[in-house]
Amino acid sequence: MSDIIDVKAIDSEKAQSLKSVGWVSYILHLIVAVAAVLPGAQVGAGLLIVALVIDLVKKSDAEGTWQASHFSWRIRTVIWAGVLYVVTIPLWFLLVLPGMIAWALISIWFLYRIVKGLVRMNANQPMPD
């Protein structure tokens, strides 16, 4: 029976460690997301890259847990936001206003996904596929 308790303790430590990594990553994403929607607030992409690297490195540790969905959620969010920003760059050259609107919408979408992930992780819930 002590073996079962040890396994549960190890699983609990792993879950807590993954949740701590998740908090760090979500907070870094949140700083970037809030800065993206606040006029004049500039946060370097460096924070986002750090968060992305953390997620890519630690994702395999989360396989088979409810937290794996959060790693995938954050990685997909960053990749899709990056693709959307790049695809809408030409709008800035045609007319500035459409580019501003597109980037504002992408930034709001990014912030929404980060907040949604934070709320679900705090409730120990996986993210939808």
- Helix locations, the chain, DSSP H: 2-37, 45-58, 68-87, 89-94, 96-122
Tell me if 78 sits within 8 A of 51, measured CB to CB. Answer: yes
pLDDT at 6: 54
pTM value? 0.85
Q: How many CB atoms within 10 Å of residue 127?
A: 20
One digit per residue, pLDDT tens: the chain, 129 residues?
445 555 455 577 888 899 999 999 999 999 998 888 877 767 777 888 999 999 999 999 999 999 999 999 999 999 999 999 999 989 888 888 888 899 899 999 999 999 999 999 999 999 997
- The predicted pLDDT at position 8 comes to 58
Report the C-alpha gap between 103 and 100 in whole angstroms.
5
